[in-house]
Amino acid sequence: MTIVVVTTATRAHRLVMARLVALLLVLGSCNIDHSCALVFCDSGAIFPVSTFSESDFARLTGATITICFNGWCNEGVIDALPDPGGIHSISLGSSSEPTVKLSLQRFDPDSEIRLGVDVESDRVDLFRNGDVYAVDVVGMDGASLVHASWSVDYADSQPNGDGCDPTCRMAATMTPL
C-alpha cells in the first residue's frame, strides 16, 4: 500500500490525514475477504396468471384485480391495456412490504395479452415455504375472469457467492390449489 502525505497541509489537515493513515494501516493488516460481488436481488414470486385473447380485451379493461399473499390482499383496476408489443404495469396497494405489481404484456402478431403477477421484497424473512398466493380478476359486469391460487415453495440463492449477502428467496415450485 502506498500512502502519499501532502506536507503543505494545515495542522488540522495533517491531523486528519494522520488519523486516516492510521486507519488504513489497521485495515490493511486485517484479514478482510474481498471475494464478494455486489449484486442486489429481491425475494418473492413472479408468475404468469392467465392469457387473454383479443375477444376478451373489452372485458379486461376496467376489471378489478385482487392479489393476495397469505391472506394479505391488494386490489386495483386494470385502467389500460398495453399497445401491441408493449407492457403495462400496475402497482397495487400501498408502499408497504412486499410490493405487489400486475403486468399485462401484449404480443404480436397473435394479439394476446398475458397477465402476470410480481410479489417482491428485499426482506427474505417475508417468504416461507407453503405461502399461498391468490389472484382474482372480475370484469366490470361482475363476471369472474380469473380465479386461481397456488401454494409456493422457494429456493434460496446468494448471487454474490457463498457466505456473501444478500440471501434471496424466489419461488421455485408453485402448486395449484
**In percent, how much of the chain has pLDDT > 90?**
50
Q: CB atoms < 10 A from the CB of 99, how many?
A: 18
For residues 27 and 32, what is the distance between their CA atoms, to the nearest angstrom? 8
For residues 175 and 177, what is the distance between their CA atoms, to the nearest angstrom? 6
Residue whose grid cell is 495533517: 14
Q: Establish whether the linkage from the previous residue to 109 is cis, with ω within 30° of 0.
A: yes
Count CA atoms within 13 Å of residue 48 on its CB side. Answer: 6
Question: Would you state the pLDDT for residue 19?
Answer: 52
pTM metric for this prediction: 0.73
* Distance from chain centroid for Cα 23: 38
Grid cell locating 123: 426482506
Architecture of domain 43-176: Sandwich (2.60)
Question: pLDDT, tens digit, for every residue of 23-48?
Answer: 444 444 444 444 788 888 889 999 89
Question: Would you state the pLDDT for residue 20?
Answer: 46
Question: Would you state the pLDDT for residue 26?
Answer: 43
Count CA atoms within 13 Å of residue 144 on its CB side. Answer: 6
Grid cell locating 9: 497541509
Average predicted confidence (pLDDT) for the chain: 81
Question: pLDDT, tens digit, for every residue of 64-123?
Answer: 999 999 999 999 999 999 988 899 999 887 666 788 999 999 987 667 999 999 999 988
Question: Would you state the pLDDT for residue 25?
Answer: 45
> In the chain, what are the domain boundaries?
1-32, 43-176
pLDDT over 50 (residue 14): no
Question: pLDDT, tens digit, for every residue of 162-176?
Answer: 888 889 999 999 999
For residues 47 and 63, what is the distance between their CA atoms, to the nearest angstrom? 20
